[in-house]
Amino acid sequence: MIIGNFVEFGGCNMWRDDDDRLDNILNFIVHKRISQYPLICPICSTQELNFYMHRYKEHVHKGAIWIWCSNCKYFSHFSLVVPDWWENSNWIALEDLTALPINLESKREQISKHIKNTIGNN
């Protein structure tokens, strides 16, 4: 259900997608110019900004990215050319990849470990 700029899921999680500041983080992610993870959310200033990319087929660059803040519940999701350095995780099922980051949020600790290993920030 959509309520104004809020998206409600199951009556408990409210997600907002009406702030372009999350989109501005994309360039830093794609070009691997991030020194810490999770990132600092440009909306609420907490270090709870997460992302996950997924390449739809091996050796194909077409995919998608989800950027979301676990604290303020702002998110962004869109298609992109997945960078060469990215590797999909083998424990994220395609069913987990919906427009809203609800399923990704529930796996954020695993995602965090995956991203820290991928960017070399253990």
What digits encode the pLDDT tens for the residues 38-76? Answer: 999 999 999 999 999 999 988 889 999 999 999 999 999
Q: What is the CA radius of gyration of the chain?
A: 14
The model carries a pTM of 0.85
Q: Is the pLDDT of residue 9 over 50?
A: no
| Residues β-bridged to residue 62 | 81
Q: Are 8 and 14 in contact (CB under 8 A)?
A: yes
- Residues 95-119, buried b or exposed e (16+ Cβ, 10 A)? ebbeebbbebbebbeebeebbeeeb
Mean pLDDT calculated for residue range 72-99: 93
Residue 3 pLDDT: 41
